[in-house]
Amino acid sequence: MKETAPFFQQEFFDFPGHKVDVFIHAWDRLGYSPGCEGNLEKLNHDQLQNDINDAYGDNLKDVRIDSAEGDFEQDIQAWEQVHNAIKKFHKTKYNDSEVNKFLTSERVMDNVHKDQWSYLFGQYYSLSRAIDMKMRYAHKHNVKYDLVIRTRTDIAYQWWESSKNYRRYKEEYYQNLVKKKGIYATYINLKPFGSPDNVYSLSHLEVDNTGISSIGYRYPREFNYCDTVFNDSGVPSHTCQLYLKDWVMYADDESANSWVDITGSYYTFLFNQIVRYKGGKQVNYITSGEALNGFHALLNRIPVYRTPNRSFKLIHPDISLRTTWSKKNNNYENYKADHVLIASDYDCMVQQQKDYQNEECSFYTHKELLGESKQ
């Protein structure tokens, strides 16, 4: 948080003509990647509260710091009991031979580690609590927000050398996000189930209770993957999955309020998998954050739109504490393409962004942080 707060302040507090309120849900444990739940760093509650207050000042309207124990832990344990009870008494052989050509046995009902439930459910629980705080504040003070931005503390925003252009471009960017109601993400991908190599990149997707009402393609231009979007229960069909990039997401006030029940969407997804499992049908592996966000938008019939990316994701300077993807793709070109910064002080991360914007300049910052020799 301390590393990214200056970027957040510049992006949202240096914004003449606009009032920005901040609502934060945080945990009293610190981890850096999936699977680290057994070795989380305990944070001092009062110190964390002070750090949040210092970073966001008067713009901070509400904050909640939770422990992974208590209500959250009970929710996880309740799901595990259901999962284990069904798995114990039902060993299935999948009937979908065509689907099985593409998928392994590591599916939701077959191989799920406890830490995965905590890691994935935790982010949805955190989002729902932050939206709940926003809704309560808006009701109490009779306000409605033009735009709601869902972001994270491991996200930094674009650095601009020209203050004049920075403010103008920023104004144009955010004004464009309030033109249509819905959810905006920096990429929207549609992946047909059972065809992992086929990905449809979309500019937008609008649905109603009968199916797709409007769709825009970026590539490929053809669309022939499925015959329906929803099953007979009104739940998004298993035929495809919609992926929304979830580093930063934007929505109008009404659409954002649906996130208060994103944990309900998560349970809907999981129990839909149970029905398929019991029917001998192949089921997906535990859904990623991107897929769950797409599922939630479809389930609530919320249109989604693609928007350019203004953010960067931070990764830990210690490669042993990075995600599997970051370890496998530990090089400058991959990090540039995926908008990744190696966490450091503010000036160093600004230099990394300069490297990305200007191929003529020195890459010393990245070479050193990547553990490569200087040129």
Query: Do 212 and 352 share a domain, yes or no?
Result: no
The rounded distance, in Å, linking the Cα atoms of 268 and 288 is 15
pLDDT-based confidence at residue 365 (cuts at 50, 70, 90):
very low
Give the pLDDT score at 91. 53
Query: Do 175 and 128 share a domain, yes or no?
Result: yes
Average the pLDDT over 61-81 and give the result: 81
> pTM (2 decimals)?
0.85
Give the pLDDT score at 113. 54
Is the distance from CB of 201 to CB of 189 less than 8 angstroms?
yes
Residue where one domain finishes, among candidates 306, 329, 355: 306
Q: What is the CA angle 280-34-329, rounded to 5?
A: 105
User: Which one has a higher pLDDT value, 124 or 184?
Assistant: 184
User: Could you tell me the residue range of the domain that residue 96 belongs to?
Assistant: 5-306
Report yes or no on 312 lying in a domain.
Answer: no
Query: Do 200 and 277 share a domain, yes or no?
Result: yes
Report yes or no on 311 lying in a domain.
Answer: no
> Helix or strand or coil: residue 241?
strand
Q: What is the mean pLDDT of the chain?
A: 79
pLDDT-based confidence at residue 305 (cuts at 50, 70, 90):
very high
Give the pLDDT score at 283. 66
Report yes or no on 350 lying in a domain.
Answer: yes
Give the pLDDT score at 24. 95
Report yes or no on 313 lying in a domain.
Answer: no
Report yes or no on 315 lying in a domain.
Answer: no
The winner for highest mean pLDDT among 10-19, 34-43, 96-105 is 10-19
Residue where one domain finishes, among candidates 283, 306, 329: 306
Query: Do 207 and 276 share a domain, yes or no?
Result: yes
Q: How many domains, in total, are found in the chain?
A: 2
Give the pLDDT score at 363. 36
Is the distance from CB of 225 to CB of 240 less than 8 angstroms?
yes
Average the pLDDT over 83-89 and give the result: 65
Give the pLDDT score at 184. 97
Query: Do 196 and 149 share a domain, yes or no?
Result: yes
Query: Do 238 and 325 share a domain, yes or no?
Result: no
pLDDT-based confidence at residue 106 (cuts at 50, 70, 90):
very low
Report yes or no on 333 lying in a domain.
Answer: yes
The winner for highest mean pLDDT among 266-270, 305-309, 343-347, 365-369 is 305-309
Does residue 20 surpass a pLDDT of 50? Answer: yes
The rounded distance, in Å, linking the Cα atoms of 65 and 52 is 10
Query: Do 71 and 200 share a domain, yes or no?
Result: yes
Does residue 205 surpass a pLDDT of 60? Answer: yes
Query: Do 297 and 326 share a domain, yes or no?
Result: no
Report yes or no on 374 lying in a domain.
Answer: no
The rounded distance, in Å, linking the Cα atoms of 320 and 28 is 22
User: Which one has a higher pLDDT value, 370 or 91?
Assistant: 91
Does residue 227 surpass a pLDDT of 60? Answer: no
Query: Do 112 and 170 share a domain, yes or no?
Result: yes
* Termini Cα distance of the chain: 32
Give the pLDDT score at 364. 38
Least confident of 34-48, 77-91, 95-109, 341-355: 95-109
